[in-house]
């Protein structure tokens, strides 16, 4: 077996095959293997965790470091936009595309995109699962209720927090939903600048609290406590203090002896039975460039919402749409989080490089459905500035600073060491016209049609931005910032929070998958990542992705009684 194969290399027959090893794929793998199923996980990216399948967590050595060039500029885990581009347009009226390059791309690596995330893990609120009913008809939007509610997911939220290792303090957030388990760890130290902003928010009557995060504040699950090196967001953790799927759920699956992971193995087509109602195999391109087909009894898509939809379209032999698409909704209702970012520049240094990327936030701006005085926005993260390489680039290219003036700007560091950023992760209205399909002409390095995103913001989230932007600036001003500004939003969503495209529901006419995550049209195919989300909510999605994926796996093991699978 190649070194690119992890886990039980003697396995040749599989109860389930999972495409993707990230937040969703790792959770499904952990749930299935804990209940005795043999699982194959296919991952298109490389493995950067030496010893991941070994017996000692302390012996798992990540190939990550606090290297901004390596992670942010040299595509260590990010797809290269020349080899694997995507295309973009705001609407069909724009023609085939207006942009070719990096479009909502996520890292490709064992452990998925969450390896480079700062793994912020708030729970959704109970109302978030009923927005179709609570909001009613909104022109141009397609809000829908989730087919599962908070109560059904709550035990799996607890499982996910324990599996990832989440630090937090439920008593600090008056909006905290009901929970049956405590956070596994207390919150770590707050960052100096963010504590300043928390004081400003509190003075205005808001409720700042320690942001729930899957980063160890104390030694946990054989992994060390965080040393607050400041390089969480956009970086793999060099000490494994961060609870990314690779070192938590996926490793848990590997240690059962029921899991095999094949990295650098790209799924390019699902093979379908003559009736179109069953998957019979997965065609892949391996690390040597050769095609190989893998088979199992069940198949699970967890490659990210955009790539899940793309794979279903690539698997349609007639290229007339996608398999599993009797509803016509495969690829539609793609959502992101509409991020409103407010920057505050302080006279003093706020030391954004000392601590986790985000240590505090407020839920006050999430809002209440149909309340004009509290429109639906989202949780607000108190964060820090950019890295030094990005800082130098901005001075040199955007402000045309060179030589001694550039050096002076770097020493003063107004956009790194003196800046605090407030980011509101606002609800993004689902729209059928916001969709993923295949570009008719652009191909990737393997000569496959690339994903095309058609996306335009709705008045729903734009009005929330307009309502809450002045309030974000007020917080920064109260905290003592000398200069404050709202960052203009990009046309192409810049967030890594990608959801929708395979929404689940009870009615096959209005959803792609059923309430258990299984495709209405294909009896042995499930989705288990953010693609299932009918709505985006106003909270970071990773914990709910892990939670929902764990429940999908539990439904596979114990249909109609998923709680029996919890161990």
Residue-wise pLDDT tens digits, 214-244: 999 999 999 999 999 988 899 999 999 999 9
Residue 3: the pLDDT is 65
User: Tokens in use for 200?
Assistant: 């400003």
For the cut 70, the answer to whether the pLDDT of residue 79 exceeds it is yes
pLDDT digits (tens, 9 = 90+) for 463-485: 999 999 999 999 999 999 999 99
pLDDT digits (tens, 9 = 90+) for 87-118: 999 999 999 999 999 999 999 999 999 999 99
List Cβ neighbours of 143 (8 Å cut-off, separation of 6 or more): 131, 132, 135, 429, 430, 534, 535
Among 125-139, 399-413, 419-433, 504-518, the minimum mean pLDDT is found in 399-413
Residue 2: the pLDDT is 58
Architecture of domain 1-54+108-167+230-336+499-567: 3-Layer(bba) Sandwich (3.50)
User: Tokens in use for 197?
Assistant: 């902003």
pTM: 0.97
Q: Assess contact for 2 and 264: CB atoms under 8 A.
A: no
Arithmetic mean of pLDDT over the chain: 96
User: Tokens in use for 435?
Assistant: 């969709």
Q: Which of 461, 459, 458, 480 is nearest to 469 (CA)?
A: 461
Laid out side by side, the sheet with 338-345 consists of: 209-210, 358-362, 378-383, 419-426, 338-345, 483-486
Give the pLDDT mean for 83-89. Answer: 97
Q: Assess contact for 113 and 456: CB atoms under 8 A.
A: no
Could you tell me the residue ranges of all domains in the chain?
1-54+108-167+230-336+499-567
User: Tokens in use for 275?
Assistant: 């009736």
Dihedral (C-alpha) 434, 435, 439, 444: value to the nearest 10 degrees?
110
How far is residue 552 from each of residues 31, 131, 279, 311, 464, measured CA to CA in Å? 9, 22, 18, 20, 33
Q: Assess contact for 529 and 303: CB atoms under 8 A.
A: yes
Residue 317: the pLDDT is 81
Q: Assess contact for 353 and 388: CB atoms under 8 A.
A: no
For the cut 80, the answer to whether the pLDDT of residue 1 exceeds it is no
Dihedral (C-alpha) 222, 226, 227, 231: value to the nearest 10 degrees?
130
């Amino acid at each position: 077996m190649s070194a690119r194969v992890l886990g039980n290399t003697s396995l040749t027959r599989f109860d389930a095959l999972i495409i993707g090893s990230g937040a969703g794929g790792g959770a499904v793998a952990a749930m299935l293997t804990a209940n005795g199923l043999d699982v194959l996980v296919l991952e298109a990216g490389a493995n950067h965790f030496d010893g991941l399948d070994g017996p000692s967590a302390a012996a798992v050595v990540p190939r990550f470091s606090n290297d901004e060039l390596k992670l942010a500029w040299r595509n260590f885990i990010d797809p290269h936009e020349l080899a694997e581009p995507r295309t973009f347009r705001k609407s069909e009226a724009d023609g085939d595309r207006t942009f070719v390059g990096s479009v909502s791309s996520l890292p490709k690596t064992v452990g998925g995109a969450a390896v480079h995330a700062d793994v912020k893990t708030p729970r959704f609120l109970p109302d978030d699962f009923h927005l179709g009913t609570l909001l009613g008809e909104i022109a141009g939007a397609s809000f829908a209720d989730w087919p599962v509610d908070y109560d059904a997911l709550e035990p799996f939220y607890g499982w996910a927090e324990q599996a990832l290792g989440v630090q937090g303090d439920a008593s600090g957030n008056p909006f905290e939903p009901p929970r049956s388990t405590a956070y596994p760890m207390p919150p770590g130290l707050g960052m100096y600048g963010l504590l300043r902003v928390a004081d400003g928010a509190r003075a205005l009557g808001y409720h700042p609290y320690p942001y729930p995060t899957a980063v160890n504040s104390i030694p946990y699950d054989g992994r060390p406590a965080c040393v607050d090196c400041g390089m969480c967001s956009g970086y793999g953790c060099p000490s494994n203090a961060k609870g990314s799927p690779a070192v938590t759920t996926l490793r848990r699956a590997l240690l059962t002896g029921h899991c095999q992971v094949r990295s650098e193995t790209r799924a390019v087509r699902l093979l379908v039975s003559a009736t179109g109602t069953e998957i019979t195999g997965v065609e892949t391109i391996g690390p040597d460039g050769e095609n190989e087909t893998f088979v199992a009894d069940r198949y699970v898509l967890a490659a990210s919402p955009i790539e899940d939809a793309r794979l279903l379209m690539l698997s349609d032999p007639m290229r007339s749409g996608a398999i599993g698409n009797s509803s016509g909704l495969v690829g539609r209702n793609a959502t992101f989080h509409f991020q409103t970012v407010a920057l505050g520049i302080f006279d003093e240094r706020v030391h954004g490089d000392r601590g986790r990327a985000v240590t505090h936030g407020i839920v006050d701006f999430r809002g209440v459905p149909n309340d004009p005085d509290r429109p639906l926005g989202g949780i607000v993260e108190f964060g820090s500035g950019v890295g030094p390489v990005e800082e130098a680039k901005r001075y040199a290219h955007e402000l045309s600073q060179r030589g001694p003036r550039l050096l002076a700007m770097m020493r003063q560091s107004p956009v790194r060491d003196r800046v605090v950023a407030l980011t509101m992760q606002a609800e993004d209205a689902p729209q059928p016209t916001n969709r993923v399909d295949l570009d008719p002409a652009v191909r990737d390095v393997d000569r496959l049609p690339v994903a095309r995103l058609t996306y335009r913001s709705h008045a729903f989230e734009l009005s929330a931005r307009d309502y809450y932007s002045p309030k974000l600036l007020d917080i920064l001003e109260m905290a003592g910032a000398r200069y404050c500004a709202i960052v203009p939003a990009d046309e192409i969503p810049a967030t890594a929070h990608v959801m929708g495209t395979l929404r689940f529901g009870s009615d096959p006419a209005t959803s792609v998958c059923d309430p258990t995550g299984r495709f209405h049209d294909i009896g042995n195919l499930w989705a288990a990542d953010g693609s299932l989300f009918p709505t985006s909510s106003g909270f970071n999605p990773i914990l709910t992705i892990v939670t929902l994926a764990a429940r999908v796996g539990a439904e596979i093991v114990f249909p109609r009684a998923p709680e029996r699978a919890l161990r």
